[in-house]
Amino acid sequence: MWTPDEVISFATDCITHGVKAVSLGGGEPFEYDGVFDIIDALRPRAYISVTSNGLPLFNHDVWQQLMLHAPDKIHITIHNPDNATEVNRVKAQVKQLASTIIKPGVNLLISSRKIEACKQAYQLLRDIVHPDQIILVPQRFLCTPSANDLASITSGAPFQSPSCLLGCTRPTNFCSISWDKRVNSCSFAGGKEPLEELTYSGMMNALQRVHFTHC
């Protein structure tokens, strides 16, 4: 439901009012016409990251465009840590990105049913990236891992994960805006509210109306 011009003017207004970083997600952002226009317009003003499944980066035209209109960071998500093909593919793509000006990162989706596979995938990723480039993302709604499950993946070493790992706390320095122009302080929480206007103040007003509920 967002046109590129709407994204650019909305995000620019947010940046003017102090927002420091914008992360483009999806769906798959690299399948969205206009993603490179958005990156070009916003990158001089804020830190721009993109979360992708990585597959569109195999498309030669997408890769060429990416080299011309680079975000600061790309996070590639591993949805199936027990799938060796997917893990090795993402590992190769992270290495490829590391040879460019774009900083690579990985979102590793953790299911309580796949802890051993997640551990092996994490170790493979650690061969090529620093722990601060890997985010352990607990699966939500089903098979959600415990804090101890996550700690076991890194054998007790420090790791990155959402700050609500030990209990649901409404974020105060982040918000998530969805495809249907609704906002909440967390993408998983219930109680999203529509943006009545596509501005920073429209976003803040909507956030005040949110009745935040645990995912």
Q: Which residues bind ligand SF4 (CB under 6 A)?
A: 162, 164, 168, 186, 188-189, 214-215
The residue count of the chain comes to 215
Q: How far is the CB of 157 from ligand SF4 (least distance, A)?
A: 22
Strand partners, 171: none
Q: How far is the CB of 201 from ligand SF4 (least distance, A)?
A: 24
Any idea which residue has 């465009």 for tokens? 65
State how far the Cα of 81 lies from the Cα of 109, in Å rounded to an integer.
Answer: 7
Q: Is residue 69 classed as helix, strand or coil in its secondary structure?
A: coil
Give the residue ranges of DSSP H helices in the chain: 4-16, 35-42, 60-68, 84-98, 115-126, 147-153, 200-209
- Whose Cβ is closer to ligand SF4: residue 68's or residue 166's? 166
Neighbours of 51 (CB within 10 A): 19
- Whose Cβ is closer to ligand SF4: residue 22's or residue 137's? 137
Q: How far is the CB of 135 from ligand SF4 (least distance, A)?
A: 13
Which residue, among 143, 173, 146, 172, has the nearest Cα to 161 in the 3D structure?
146
- Whose Cβ is closer to ligand SF4: residue 1's or residue 141's? 141
- Whose Cβ is closer to ligand SF4: residue 87's or residue 175's? 175
- Whose Cβ is closer to ligand SF4: residue 68's or residue 141's? 141
Neighbours of 166 (CB within 10 A): 8
Which residue, among 97, 92, 122, 96, has the nearest Cα to 109 in the 3D structure?
122
- Whose Cβ is closer to ligand SF4: residue 2's or residue 188's? 188
DSSP state, residue 166:
T
Any idea which residue has 């090529």 for tokens? 128
